[in-house]
Structure 1
Amino acid sequence: MSWLGTSHNVLAWYKPQCLGLCSGHNDHLHRCHHYVVPTLGVYSTVLVTPLPPLCSAHLGSARHSHIKELGYSGVVVMRNPFKALISHRHLDVGGHTGYAPKAHFLGQGCWAEFVRLKVNLWQDFYVDWITLTSPSNIHVTHYENLRQNPVLEMRGILDYLGIRQDPSRLKCLSENLDGLFKRRVRMNSLLGFDPFTKELRRVIYGAIYSVDLALKSKGFGGLPISKYEVYDAKEAEVLRLL
């Protein structure tokens, strides 16, 4: 399970590389041959299997019910909320492969309200998944680790799902890390400024602290904040205490 702006396109591309299977809009499974995989546009959402769910669920609005419906088990993927919020904004305005205009990241009105609302939902979503489930029933991974060492992280996910690791499929993954269905970096797509005011950073740091604490309380080791592109540990400590 993951929050919006976290991992959908990444996992949707890594899954077929590792499994040789793709899921479509209608939850039909198709065998993916080597010559087909690199040309796929990935709109897949759920891999249909009796195993625990491996998907980017986007279910943050339904506090506890979705956890119960999914059997209190699944792969939980987390991302630095600073980056997830920006990605979420682009998704809302520009779709899966487009960008939001820079004006959508400014002001104390819509943007600030968006950040406050979404980061609280981000915190609730992950704290619920961590505290309402048994540590042995979920597998926690992080977007930053998936991008840094995808083969290692996917090995862990496959082990959790009880799926035999196929060396040839993992080799396929290592050689095809970038899918076609993603936002293309363009010069005018870069914000060129920090959209997070001091007050917004304080709120986000507080959410990070809460999720990190919940992870550590269940023996998961905490968030990989040392790998966060947008994060200042000293500032976080000062602002969190204000």
Structure 2
Amino acid sequence: MEAPKRFIFFILAFCSIFGIIFTYNSTVSSLIIFSNSISDKDHEERAIFADISSENYSEKEMTYRKLTIDNSGQKRYWWSKDLLCSQYSVNFGKNIVASWLLSYPRSGNTWTRYLIESASGFFTGSIYHSKNSKRAGYLGEDDPISRNRTIVIKTHTAESLKGSNRATLLIMRNPARSLISYWNYKNNRNSFSRWFLSAPNSSYKTKAFHKFVEKELEIWRSTYIYPLKNAKRLHVIFYEMLRENPVREIRGILRFLQLRPDEDRLLCLLRHLEGVAKGQQRQIQPYTWEEKNAFDRTIEEINVILSSRGFPPTPDYRIYGLI
């Protein structure tokens, strides 16, 4: 009986070893195939990448900054669970001259911060010191601006720019959508999930909502008029374009920040575009004809100034609804 037992043991052992080898080979093959597919996709992306910065330098003319990592500070690994991308960390820097990251609320500022951190490897800061943002992973949120350790600084007010020589990244979104998103946000502000929650549809029929629209559209306007007229070094980011092709737009941002793009990081970013705190796109039409006309007049005014600075006009917001 011993011989048959040894034979059965031998067969089982052989099958186990063969299975391990087969699994290993399959895994390696899958990684190679997957890597090649990413490479092909990246080549397709590169063919259409364009920069809409006000400074249209060619790659040969670019002078990149050499930033130093502050190794005494914390690190963040946005993609720690991804085998191919887990090595990429986000760090604090030393003696960084940060740019402003200005937008009206609910225009993609926090998501843009994620894209910048992921692509550059440096934390972004903020004037707001939000505990929720830091809890979500933005470790530069409450880092004092005077320490010069972050690559951009979030703000929702043009007042931050007055008296400052910092360059400015300006995120602009369809005001009709920004206002709806901000209304939802304000009506759920006590919830950590307020980025994703919606206000009741009935709230859009109230006097409070229409007063909110009148007031906030003027704030939206003033948020952009000042930097468009006064910022000496400016880069405009259209939120709708950022959503349609994030990697193309982040290339333009890196160029404006004078940071050399890391192609491997960008490939990983292409796999993890969502990030955190990217709000939902709500489908609702709450505006009166008078409000729609006010949106049109405001956008027309913005486009005149954009043209005077050499920037393209805002996207046709009618494509995206509401106006």
- Corresponding residue number in structure 1 for 2:181: 87
Q: Distance in 2 between matches of 1:21 and 1:51?
A: 8
Residue 121 (1) aligns with residue 219 (2): yes
- Corresponding residue number in structure 2 for 1:236: none
Is 8-17 or 158-167 further displaced after alignment? Answer: 8-17
- Corresponding residue number in structure 1 for 2:42: none
Q: Distance in 2 between matches of 1:210 and 1:55?
A: 27
TM-score normalized by structure 2?
A: 0.57
The structure-2 alpha-carbon separation of the partners of 1:84 and 1:159, relative to structure 1 and needing over 3 Å to count, comes to same
The structure-2 alpha-carbon separation of the partners of 1:93 and 1:70, relative to structure 1 and needing over 3 Å to count, comes to farther
Q: Distance in 1 between matches of 2:160 and 2:127?
A: 20
Question: Deviation of residue 99 (structure 1)?
Answer: 2.0
Question: Deviation of residue 9 (structure 1)?
Answer: 2.9
**Is this contact kept in 1: 2:108–2:278, CA < 8 A?**
no
Equivalent of residue 264 in structure 2, options 143, 157, 168: 168
The runs of 5 or more residues in structure 2 that have no matched partner are: 1-101, 130-134, 189-193
- Percent of counterpart pairs with the same letter? 25
Residue 104 (1) aligns with residue 104 (2): no
Q: Distance in 1 between matches of 2:137 and 2:181?
A: 17
| SS of residue matched to 1:84 | helix
Q: Which residues in structure 2 correspond to 1:39-50 (within 5 Å)?
A: 41-43=136-138, 45=141
Equivalent of residue 314 in structure 2, options 216, 223, 233: 223
| Letter in structure 1 aligned against 2:178 | A
Question: Deviation of residue 178 (structure 1)?
Answer: 1.0
Q: Distance in 2 between matches of 1:133 and 1:24?
A: 20
TM-score normalized by structure 1?
A: 0.75
Equivalent of residue 2 in structure 1, options 103, 108, 130: 103
**Is this contact kept in 2: 1:18–1:166, CA < 8 A?**
yes
**Is this contact kept in 2: 1:75–1:138, CA < 8 A?**
yes
The structure-2 alpha-carbon separation of the partners of 1:66 and 1:41, relative to structure 1 and needing over 3 Å to count, comes to closer
- Corresponding residue number in structure 2 for 1:35: none
Q: Distance in 2 between matches of 1:80 and 1:144?
A: 8
The structure-2 alpha-carbon separation of the partners of 1:89 and 1:101, relative to structure 1 and needing over 3 Å to count, comes to same
Q: Distance in 2 between matches of 1:132 and 1:219?
A: 14
- Corresponding residue number in structure 2 for 1:206: 297
Residue 144 (1) aligns with residue 240 (2): yes
Aligned residue pairs total: 209
Is 83-92 or 50-59 further displaced after alignment? Answer: 50-59
Question: Deviation of residue 176 (structure 1)?
Answer: 0.7
Is 164-173 or 66-75 further displaced after alignment? Answer: 66-75
Q: Distance in 2 between matches of 1:198 and 1:230?
A: 14
- Corresponding residue number in structure 2 for 1:33: none
Equivalent of residue 172 in structure 2, options 75, 78, 84: 78
- Root mean square deviation, CA, Å: 3.0
Q: Distance in 2 between matches of 1:51 and 1:157?
A: 18
The structure-2 alpha-carbon separation of the partners of 1:72 and 1:104, relative to structure 1 and needing over 3 Å to count, comes to farther
| Letter in structure 2 aligned against 1:150 | P
